[in-house]
């Protein structure tokens, strides 16, 4: 299992209280654990203005997720992220060498 870091930009349409977890982030965490990975940390960066409109949104809710996962499962994870309508953009990076 390798270490990964992923930034999610989620649609601002779903309002979530500051202390609550976002349902889309929970869904992604469950997907990672279902594929045999372990989520080590989730950081909420908050709502930020986008550099350019994405799907007619000018703001997005940003989250940084750190996890461990089998490298063979990352393609399936990214395919599921692309199908999730609430996720405007994502960036998955493998940490280390």
| Domain containing residue 65: CATH number | 3.30.70.60
Picking from 60, 54, 73, 69, the residue whose alpha carbon sits closest to that of residue 25 is 60
Q: Range of 62's domain?
A: 2-70+78-94
User: Average pLDDT in the 23-45 region?
Assistant: 93
pLDDT at 97: 61
pLDDT tens, residue by residue, 51-75: 999 999 999 999 999 999 999 999 9
The HSE-up count of residue 62 (CA atoms within 13 Å, CB side) is 11
Number of domains in the chain: 1
Torsion, CA 19, CA 89, CA 85, CA 41, rounded to 10 = -40
């Amino acid at each position: 299992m390798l270490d990964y870091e992923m930034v999610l930009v989620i649609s601002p349409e779903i309002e979530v209280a500051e202390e609550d977890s976002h349902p889309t982030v929970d869904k992604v965490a469950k997907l990672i654990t279902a594929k045999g990975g372990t989520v080590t940390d989730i950081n909420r960066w908050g709502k930020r203005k986008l550099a350019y409109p994405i799907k007619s949104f000018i703001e997005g809710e940003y989250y940084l997720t750190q996890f461990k996962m089998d490298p063979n499962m990352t393609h399936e994870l990214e395919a599921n992220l692309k199908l999730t309508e609430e996720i405007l953009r994502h960036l998955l990076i493998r940490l280390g060498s």
